[in-house]
């Protein structure tokens, strides 16, 4: 079988053996406030009538806090797979079937979409229907690891509740930030009267020790662990290994040179990236900003495609060859992204940061990093 045929047939590289994995060390991030918050969450879970466990749709299993699963097992629970707009919809339906077979109520959502959150609230009301008639006050807890969108969900729920219910109490907005661990205390928000329904937002908490290194890399790549804990280049190398392992660069063979759609469509496509990179400066966007991002994405995709198809090594079974390809891609991306610096290490870091941003904002396409288990494994 030739090199091209082997690539098209798919690689079976075991990422656990890669240098960024085995040589980088175990990934743990458990600040002091997480330990205290975990204790309080366990206590308050006993009072909750329903729990919304928010996970990242790109890592439906890796984003579960396994230390809390035993406490959640006896509760009414909805697993909300947030950031569905960043997840591969062709695979998401398989995850829905997996959770359904596992007897878990699950809904893929976008916490920033009013319609999506309304659908979640409808499911919440359905799950609470049997207790509404006999309880004057109901408590819904929102739990999850850092940066999966819990606070964004709380804010969306408030916006909907303020127009739907005659809520007399002043409702505060939950703090939302781009970094994991922004919400560091537990706050209650009243969303309805008759019966009174309160939603508790909680800090994002991880397990004290992440035993599986690749799970830690997935958590860090999606933003649940601070980049500085892992290192940007290590994350970029892991992401590139996933792309190459899945033959993703082959999908970027035919990229037209013409800009697609109107300016407004381009702004919509790049909204997340604008918010992340330009929003804090207060700079007004113009045509050059919009098309600059459009062009950069295509240039990055072309570079990854070119380096992938021209690589002479064997990607089907040699760890060292895949490492060599990743080195070539990082070097090529430095030129593509026009990064000029005297320090190789600094250049690699800058390339890595830009590549990670493109992944997190969905510019390189939707991904689900976890693999659907062959048979349902009860995680509660």
Q: Strand 105-108 vs strand 77-82: parallel, antiparallel, or unpaired?
A: parallel
pLDDT for 341 equals 77
Query: For 95-99, 204-208, 277-281, 356-360, which range has the lowest pLDDT when averaged over its residues?
Result: 277-281
pLDDT bucket at 183, cuts 50 / 70 / 90: low
* pLDDT score of 22: 57
Sheet containing strand 105-108, strands side by side: 105-108, 77-82, 50-56, 137-144, 196-201, 187-192
105-127: pLDDT as tens digits:
999 999 999 999 999 999 998 89
- The structure tokens listed for 89 are 């919809």
Q: Which of 137-141, 176-180, 318-322 has the lowest mean pLDDT?
A: 176-180
State the pLDDT at residue 136. 78
Q: pLDDT value at position 178?
A: 58
Q: Is the pLDDT of residue 175 over 80?
A: no
Q: Is the pLDDT of residue 243 over 90?
A: yes
What mean pLDDT is reported for the chain? 82
Spatial contact of 35 and 208, defined as CB atoms under 8 Å apart = yes
pLDDT of 255 higher than 80: no
Higher pLDDT, 185 or 346: 346
For residue 374 the two structure tokens come to 């062959």
- Between residues 100 and 73, which one has the greater pLDDT? 100
For 292-307, the pLDDT digits (tens) are 577 899 999 999 999 9
> Nearest-CA neighbor of 29 among 221, 297, 227?
227
**Domains of the chain, CATH where assigned:** 2-25+212-361 (no CATH), 32-201 (3.40.50.300)
219 and 225 in contact (C-beta within 8 Å)? yes
Q: Is the pLDDT of residue 278 over 80?
A: no
Helix (H) or strand (E) holding 186: none
pLDDT digits (tens, 9 = 90+) for 66-94: 999 999 988 999 999 999 999 999 999 99
Give the pLDDT confidence score for residue 272 in this predicted structure: 54
pLDDT score at 6: 40
* DSSP 8-class letter at 261: S
The pLDDT of residue 10 is 38
According to the model, what pLDDT value does residue 29 have? Answer: 79
The mean pLDDT of 361-369, rounded to a whole number, is: 94
pLDDT for position 306: 97
pLDDT band at 166 (very low <50, low <70, confident <90, very high): low
In the predicted model, is pLDDT for residue 1 greater than 70?
A: no
Burial class (CB in 10 A: 0-12, 13-18, 19+), 137: exposed
């Amino acid at each position: 079988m030739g090199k091209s045929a082997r690539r098209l047939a798919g690689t079976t590289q075991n990422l656990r053996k890669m240098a960024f994995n085995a040589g980088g060390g175990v990934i743990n991030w458990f600040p002091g406030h997480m330990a205290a918050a975990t204790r309080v969450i366990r206590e308050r879970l006993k009072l909750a009538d329903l729990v919304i466990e928010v996970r990242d749709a790109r890592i439906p299993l890796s984003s579960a806090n396994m230390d809390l699963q035993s406490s959640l097992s006896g509760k009414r629970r909805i697993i909300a797979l947030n950031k569905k707009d960043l997840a591969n919809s062709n695979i998401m339906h398989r995850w829905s079937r997996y959770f359904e077979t596992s007897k878990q109520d699950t809904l893929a959502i976008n916490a920033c979409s009013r319609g999506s959150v309304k659908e979640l609230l409808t499911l919440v009301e359905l799950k609470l229907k049997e207790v509404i008639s006999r309880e004057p006050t109901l408590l819904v807890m929102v739990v999850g690891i850092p940066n999966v969108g819990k606070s964004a969900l709380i804010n969306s729920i408030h916006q909907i509740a303020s127009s739907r219910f005659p809520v007399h109490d002043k409702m505060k907005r939950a703090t939302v930030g781009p970094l994991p661990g922004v919400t560091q205390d537990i706050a209650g928000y009243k969303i309805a009267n008759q019966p009174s329904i309160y939603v508790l937002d909680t800090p994002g908490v991880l397990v004290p020790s992440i035993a599986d290194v690749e799970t830690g890399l997935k958590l860090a790549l999606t933003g649940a662990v601070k980049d500085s804990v892992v290192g940007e280049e290590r994350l970029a190398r892991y992401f590139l290994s996933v792309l190459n392992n899945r033959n993703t660069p082959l999908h970027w063979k035919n990229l037209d040179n013409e800009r697609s759609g109107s300016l407004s469509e381009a702004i919509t496509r790049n909204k997340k990236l604008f918010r992340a990179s330009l929003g804090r400066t207060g700079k007004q966007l113009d045509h050059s900003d919009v098309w600059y991002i459009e062009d950069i994405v295509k240039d990055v995709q072309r570079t990854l495609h070119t380096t992938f198809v021209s690589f002479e090594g064997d990607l089907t079974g040699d760890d060292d060859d895949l490492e060599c390809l990743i080195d070539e891609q990082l070097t090529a991306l430095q030129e593509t992204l026009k990064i000029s610096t005297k320090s190789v290490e600094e250049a690699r870091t800058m390339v890595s940061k830009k590549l990670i941003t493109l992944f997190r904002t969905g510019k390189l396409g939707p991904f689900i990093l976890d693999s659907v288990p062959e048979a349902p494994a009860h995680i509660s």
